[in-house]
């Protein structure tokens, strides 16, 4: 266990270095880069950009980012929960259904997966506007405007695509788990399929899923970026798109703020999974 944490720490340090380099390198192409690399490093670890009088547009990064960060965090958390719930329901339905239904679901999946999430977002927006025009009732906020924040629609749109992604992985593991001898034994004892699925299979599969949460996470993060831009949300991800962000210090801080919390979360999850399963589920 000690070795595990030491390795993770090394990995963490390497990643930090890589982030520094990534956020610095694009500005070499700018040509007129005001910062040397050492000055850049210093500025990151002191406090924001306040110390640089050269640029008038700069502002204390941490003050500005805090509110959008929490807001985006809420959306991300909510849509993660929704994703897991939707994917679980779908996969249970899939596993319990007959062969014929399974085939139709698979056919539809290819079609649905091909729809880009931007198309989905636009369709939903248009749909709700149409609904508003027809009925005169404003069901949901389509755009975040001023102090009014949009919650419902962003969360729903964000969780649809990752849910399908997660559903695929889940079904894969569930079907794999179904062929194991203990399921046969449970069946022989007279337990129903539903009971085995809910109690035994799900419990065993959940650890595999934890490992794949990371790939789903990346999908979610990129669709969060899109959703925030499409719904005009002043969020954490769309922060990067603003023109005044384009200086290496802010970008490094931005990426670090994204990377560190989630890295810690995934490390803890990884550790927990490893401890419970003895490392078997961790083999990727």
Partner 1 sequence: MKNSMFHSKRFWIGLSFFGGLVLASFLFTWYGKDLYSQTQVLIKGADGNVSQSAPFNPLVMPPFGSDRSGYNLFFKLIIGAKFTILFVFGICFIQLLVGTLLGSLLAYTPDSLQKFIEKVCKVYFFVPTVVLVNLFMMPLMIQSEHTGFQESIVIKQFLILCIVTLPNLILYISQEINLFMKKEYITSAIVLGARKFHLFRKHIWLSVKEILVILFLQQAVQLFTLLIYMGFFKVLIGGRKMVKDPFGGPPTAFSLTNEWSGLIGLNKNELLTAPWIILAPLVAFAISIFVLNLMVQGIKERLNTRFVPIPQKKQDSVVEEKKTTMSVDKFRFANMKPLYKGKDSSYE
Report helix, strand or coil for 98. coil
Cα–Cα distance measured from residue 155 to residue 148, given in angstroms and rounded to the nearest whole number: 15
Nearer to partner 1, 43 or 247 (CB): 247
**Minimum CB distance to partner 1, residue 230 (Å):** 8
Dig out the tokens for 113 from the structure.
């997966």
Instruction: Pick between residue 125 and residue 149 the one whose CB is nearest to partner 1.
Output: 125
Residue whose C-alpha is closest to residue 158's, from 276, 90, 74, 239: 74
What's the CA gap between 262 and 215, in Å, rounded?
12
In the complex with partner 1, the residue whose CB is nearer, 63 or 176, is 176
* 86 forms part of the interface with partner 1 (CB under 8 A): no
Task: Tell me the sheet residues that pair with 145.
Answer: 148
Does the protein bind partner 1 through residue 255 (CB under 8 A)?
yes
DSSP state of 115: S
Binding residue for partner 1 (CB under 8 A) from 225, 227, 233, 273? 225
Question: Among 33, 48, 18, which Cα is nearest to 249's?
Answer: 48
CA 180 vs. chain centroid, Å, equals: 31
CB of 53 to partner 1, least distance (A): 24
* Contact (Cβ atoms closer than 8 angstroms) between residue 9 and residue 271: no
Which residues touch 251 (CB under 8 Å, ≥6 apart)? Answer: 23, 240, 245
Show the tokens assigned to 245. Answer: 């962000």
Backbone angles phi, psi at 93, to 5 degrees: -60, -40
**Given 144, 230, 249, 273, the residue binding partner 1 (CB under 8 A):** 230
23 binds partner 1 (CB under 8 A): yes
Question: Does residue 41 bind partner 1 (CB under 8 A)?
Answer: no
Minimum separation from the CB atom of position 163 to partner 1 (A) = 17
CA neighbours within 13 Å on the CB side: how many for 136?
A: 0
Nearest to partner 1 of 175, 191 (CB atom): 175
Select 15 or 186, whichever has its Cβ closest to partner 1: 15
Q: Is 264 in the site for partner 1 (CB under 8 A)?
A: no
Please select the residue that binds partner 1; options are 50, 258, 269, 274, rule is CB under 8 A. 258
**Least distance from partner 1 to the Cβ atom of residue 192, Å:** 27
In the bound state with partner 1, the residue whose beta carbon lies nearer, of 56 and 111, is 111
Within residues 89-118, the interface with partner 1 by CB under 8 A covers 110-111, 113-116, 118
Counting contacts by CB under 8 A, is residue 14 touching partner 1? yes
Residue 54: Cβ within 10 Å count: 7
Is residue 249 within 8 A of residue 49, CB to CB? The reply is yes
Q: How many residues does the chain have?
A: 284
Rounded-to-integer distance, Cα 172 and Cα 138, Å:
40
Residue 15 engages partner 1 in binding (rule: CB under 8 A): yes
To partner 1, the closest distance from the beta carbon of 216 in angstroms equals: 11
- Is there binding between residue 138 and partner 1 (CB under 8 A)? no
Q: Which residues sit at the interface with partner 1, rule CB under 8 A? A: 10-11, 14-15, 18-19, 22-23, 26, 29-31, 110-111, 113-116, 118-119, 122, 125-126, 129, 172, 176, 212, 214-215, 218, 221-222, 225-226, 229-230, 240-241, 246, 251, 255, 258-259, 262-263, 280, 283-284
């Amino acid at each position: 266990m000690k070795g595990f944490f030491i390795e993770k720490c090394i990995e963490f340090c390497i990643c930090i270095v890589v982030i520094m380099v990534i956020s610095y390198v694009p500005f070499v192409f700018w040509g007129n880069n005001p910062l040397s690399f050492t000055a850049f490093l210093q500025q990151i670890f002191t406090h924001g950009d306040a110390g640089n009088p050269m640029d008038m547009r700069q502002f204390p990064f941490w003050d500005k980012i805090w509110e959008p960060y929490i807001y985006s965090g809420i959306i991300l958390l909510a849509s993660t929960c929704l994703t897991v719930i939707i994917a679980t329901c779908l996969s249970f339905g899939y596993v319990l259904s007959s062969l014929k239904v399974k085939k139709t679901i698979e056919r539809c999946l290819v079609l649905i997966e091909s729809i880009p999430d931007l198309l989905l977002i636009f369709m939903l927006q248009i749909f709700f506007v149409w609904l508003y025009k027809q009925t005169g009732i404003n069901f949901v906020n389509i755009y975040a405007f001023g102090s009014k924040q949009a919650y419902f629609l962003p969360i729903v749109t964000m969780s649809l695509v990752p849910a399908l992604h997660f559903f695929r992985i889940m079904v894969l593991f569930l079907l794999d788990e179904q062929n194991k001898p203990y399921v046969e034994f449970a069946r022989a004892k007279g337990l129903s399929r539903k009971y085995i699925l809910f109690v035994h299979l799900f419990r065993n599969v959940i650890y595999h899923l934890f490992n794949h949460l990371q790939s789903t996470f990346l999908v979610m993060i990129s669709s969060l970026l899109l959703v925030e831009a499409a719904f005009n949300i002043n969020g954490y991800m769309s922060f990067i798109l603003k023109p005044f962000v384009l200086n290496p210090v802010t970008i490094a801080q931005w990426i670090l703020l994204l990377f560190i919390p989630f890295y810690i979360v995934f490390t803890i999850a990884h550790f927990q999974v490893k401890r419970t399963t003895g490392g078997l589920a961790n083999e990727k």
